Amino acid sequence: MMKKSNSIHVHNEQAAEYDQQAREYKWFGPEVLFGLSFEYVSPHDRLLDLGIGTGLGSLPFAKVGLEVSGIDGSMEMLKICKSKDFTKDLKQFDILNTPLPYSNGFFNR
């Protein structure tokens, strides 16, 4: 098992290439997740993306009007996500820590 500090370090190092690599590998995870979830969300719902990374997985939700917040351990991934300018809130946070930096019931989804 990889130590959490090693995992964050690896993600920091790979952040700049992450989106391009996802396209090259023809990774359609975000589109599939969005397609499976679309009927359960509504514009203006608040969505928390745990491990938001560069935002690939939650960008489709923001495009239909959800308010997306995200947490991730990798500051470099968060910088790229922030540059896409679709999130309401981003926090650097190791998801293995508790409690989450939001109050219970803050998010709809």
Whole-model pTM: value is 0.84
Q: So what's the pLDDT on residue 107?
A: 81
Give the pLDDT band of residue 44 (cuts 50, 70, 90).
very high
For the chain, how many structural domains are there in total? 1
Question: What are 39's two structure tokens?
Answer: 């009927």
Residue 74 · residue 49 · CB < 8 Å:
no
The angle that helices 4-24 and 75-83 make with each other, rounded to 10 degrees, is 40
- Round to whole Å and give the CA distance between 30 and 79: 19
Residue 70 · residue 90 · CB < 8 Å:
yes
Give the pLDDT band of residue 1 (cuts 50, 70, 90).
very low
Listed in order, strand segments (DSSP E) in the chain are: 46-50, 67-72, 87-92
Residue 97 in domain = no
Residue 107 in domain = no
CATH number, domain containing residue 67: 3.40.50.150
What is the residue range of 48's domain? 4-92
